């Protein structure tokens, strides 16, 4: 600060400005420093270190005696469903006896591995049996095809379609072995053809009893007057089944035809394993405790030249009646013999 005597020597307007500056500088020096902002010393939350939950599993139990085609179809269907739901798929030959956590669904195939007792001992597991005769549902056990695998119904559907398409109903079935599956398929075919045509009397020779059930080979279908022939089981080539000739007849059966059979193939019938398991999956994954479902039937490998959409629709209407139990084949599926 300048002494008062000195201020008298400075012009008045400069003195006023100088006084203002000096007061401002004096105020800046006396202003206390700002208080420090407190910082939080709370520890950061610790990262979660727990074990992640196990991946849910879908288990297929297919014993060694399960028909290969059925096991393959069930495996493909369940593997697809599990993959879509981001679950793990496991196929094994016996019911699990160890760790049972995180089982979303267990499906067992015939022959019965003891599923009912296992399901009762493990009520926390959602389980299902497919094609196991006599199996009864429980709160945690669903059943598909509780009367077993109806090969007679597959044959019935093909016999109906064959009679629908063949002039004078000249159709037949060749049972290439005496297994219940082959006999059920062949006798079901004869029953399905008869269901469509009744007496099935031809107008021209040869006057055979159609539909005809054959149990021996070799055979020339055309020479025998047969225009549509079911093969049970289906061979790789006609000669393997003792069939001579390559014209004048068509073939039918289960599964996809081989390259050698394809030119003669009319249609195939199989169990709709994928479609039925999809219905089971939807029911069990949306809260249903247990369900009872029939095993569907599907026609495939159908010759579009020989089979018109209208006649195919008629055959599919019959299949719906079969699956619903409103049409009886008259065949015992356990033996392949007429009831």
What are 119-166's pLDDT values in tens digits? 999 999 999 999 999 999 999 999 999 999 999 999 999 999 999 999
Neighbours of 278 (CB within 10 A): 15
Cα–Cα dist 174/182, whole Å: 9
H or E, element range at 189: helix 180-197
Backbone torsions φ then ψ of 273, nearest 5 degrees: -65, -45
Three-class SS of residue 107?
strand
Q: What angle do CA 272, 276, 279 make, to 5 degrees?
A: 150
Closest by CA position to 62, among listed 52, 54, 73:
73
Q: Is 155 exposed, middle or buried (0-12, 13-18, 19+ CB in 10 A)?
A: buried
Closest by CA position to 157, among listed 179, 177, 185:
185
The per-residue pLDDT for 12 is 52
The per-residue pLDDT for 50 is 67
Give me the CATH topology for the region 151-271+297-323: Rossmann fold (3.40.50)
**pLDDT string in tens for the chain (339-residue length):** 444 444 444 455 544 444 444 444 444 444 455 555 555 455 555 455 567 888 999 999 999 999 999 999 999 999 999 999 999 999 999 999 877 889 999 999 999 999 999 999 999 999 999 999 999 999 999 999 999 999 999 999 999 999 999 999 999 999 999 999 999 999 999 999 999 999 888 888 877 789 999 988 878 898 888 999 999 999 999 999 999 878 899 999 999 999 999 999 999 999 999 999 999 999 998 887 799 999 999 999 999 999 999 999 999 999 999 999 999 999 999 999 999
Buried b (16+ CB within 10 A) or exposed e, 95-128: bbeeeeeebbbbbbbbebbebbebbeebeebbbb
Sorted by where each begins, the domain ranges of the chain are: 57-144, 151-271+297-323
The model's pTM is 0.83
Cα–Cα dist 151/187, whole Å: 10
Task: Spell out the alpha helix ranges (H) of 114-168.
Answer: 115-121, 151-165
The per-residue pLDDT for 224 is 84
């Amino acid at each position: 600060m300048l002494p008062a005597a000195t201020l008298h020597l400075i012009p008045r307007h400069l003195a006023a400005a100088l006084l203002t500056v000096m007061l401002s500088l004096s105020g800046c020096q006396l202003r206390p420093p700002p208080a420090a902002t407190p910082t939080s010393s709370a520890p950061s939350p610790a990262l979660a270190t727990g074990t992640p939950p196990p991946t849910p599993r879908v288990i297929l139990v297919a014993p060694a005696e399960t028909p290969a085609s059925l096991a393959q179809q069930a495996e493909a269907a369940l593997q697809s469903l599990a993959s879509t739901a981001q679950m793990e798929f496991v196929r094994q030959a016996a019911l699990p006896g160890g760790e049972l956590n995180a089982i979303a669904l267990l499906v067992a195939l015939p022959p019965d591995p003891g599923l009912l007792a296992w399901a009762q001992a493990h009520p926390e597991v959602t389980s299902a049996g497919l094609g196991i005769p006599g199996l009864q549902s429980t709160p945690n056990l669903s059943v598909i095809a509780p009367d077993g695998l109806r090969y007679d119904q597959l044959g019935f559907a093909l016999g109906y379609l064959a009679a629908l398409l063949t002039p004078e109903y000249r159709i037949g079935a060749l049972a290439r072995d005496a297994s219940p599956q082959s006999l059920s398929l062949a006798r079901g075919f004869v029953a399905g053809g008869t269901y469509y045509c009744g007496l099935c009397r031809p107008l021209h020779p040869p006057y055979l009893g159609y539909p005809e059930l054959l149990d021996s080979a070799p055979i020339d279908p055309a020479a025998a007057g047969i225009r549509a022939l079911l093969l049970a089981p289906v061979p790789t080539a006609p000669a393997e089944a003792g069939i001579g000739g390559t014209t004048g007849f068509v073939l039918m059966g289960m599964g996809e035809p081989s390259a050698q059979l394809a030119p003669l193939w009319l249609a195939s019938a199989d169990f709709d394993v994928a479609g039925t398991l999809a219905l089971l999956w939807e029911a069990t994954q949306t809260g249903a405790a247990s369900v009872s479902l029939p095993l569907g039937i599907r026609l495939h490998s159908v010759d579009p030249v020989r089979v018109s959409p209208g006649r195919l629709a008629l055959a599919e209407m019959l299949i719906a009646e079969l699956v619903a139990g409103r049409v009886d084949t008259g065949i015992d599926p356990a033996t392949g013999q007429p009831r």
